[in-house]
């Protein structure tokens, strides 16, 4: 069975452009992970990774946005210091933030998928797509946090605890990240043009 590679990339960019774009957003996610603010009352810190994830989906599209985040997780799994606090290694996938890390992949995919369905035109559409991506990240992150708390925390597991530690502290800043991502993605179409120009090299 043959597979048309172009069916798996953003329809308006060539393969080379998407590969370059995905590697670029992997690097952006690595850099954004190092801007971390521990909150003290929750084991999950505030980072700027969510902004990078939303931008990857909005800029590269659903499939290659998700691929950029898969690459990021793969680097961390191999032990490279790409996660918050320059950490890495398989142990990161068993910590309290592991669900959020895993959620970056479906988060980027859903952002791109929703934005593609909305015609990739308006900042409002990009913001709606960003909110959808944030919800996907929260779903994965809070689900694993509930498991982690049940195994390692003495606080007792309730839905209120998961909400208070894994979602509520981040809603406001993640809404702002979605607004910022929508403005950068729609207002910065020159970046898309650059990616597409790379893509024309392999046609």
The verdict on residue 152 lying in a domain is yes
pLDDT tens track, the chain, 203 positions: 433 333 444 545 588 888 999 999 999 999 999 998 998 888 899 999 999 999 999 999 999 999 999 999 999 999 999 999 899 999 999 999 999 999 999 999 999 999 999 887 788 999 999 999 999 999 999 999 999 988 876 656 678 888 999 999 999 999 999 999 999 988 755 444 444 444 443 33
Residue 100 lies in a domain: yes
Please give the residue range of the domain that contains residue 133: 5-194
**Within a domain: 99:** yes
The set of residues, in sequence order, having a beta carbon less than 8 Å from that of 68 and lying 6+ positions away, is: 21, 22, 23, 24, 25, 26, 29, 56, 60, 108
In a domain, 202, yes or no: no
Cα separation, 177 vs 170, in Å, equals 10
How many independent structural domains does the chain possess? 1
What CATH number should be reported for the domain holding residue 110? 1.10.1760.20
* Residue 63 within any structural domain of the chain: yes
pTM tops 0.95: no
């Amino acid at each position: 069975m043959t597979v048309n590679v172009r069916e798996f990339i953003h329809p308006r960019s060539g393969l080379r452009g998407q590969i370059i774009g995905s590697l670029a957003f992997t690097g952006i996610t690595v850099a954004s992970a190092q801007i971390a603010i521990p909150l003290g009352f929750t084991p999950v810190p505030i980072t700027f990774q969510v902004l990078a994830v939303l931008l990857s989906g909005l800029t590269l599209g659903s499939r290659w946005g998700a691929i950029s985040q898969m690459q990021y997780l793969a680097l961390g799994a191999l032990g490279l210091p790409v996660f918050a606090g320059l950490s890495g290694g398989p142990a990161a996938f068993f910590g309290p933030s592991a669900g959020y890390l895993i959620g970056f992949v479906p988060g980027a995919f859903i952002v791109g998928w929703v934005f593609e369905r909305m015609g990739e035109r308006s900042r409002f559409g990009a913001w709606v797509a960003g909110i959808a991506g944030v919800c996907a990240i929260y779903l994965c992150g809070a689900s694993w946090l509930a498991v982690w708390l049940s195994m390692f925390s003495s606080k007792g597991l309730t839905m209120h605890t998961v909400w208070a530690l894994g979602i509520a502290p981040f809603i406001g800043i993640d809404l702002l990240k979605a607004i910022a991502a929508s403005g950068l993605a729609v207002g910065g179409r020159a970046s898309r043009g650059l990616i597409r120009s790379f893509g024309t090299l392999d046609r």
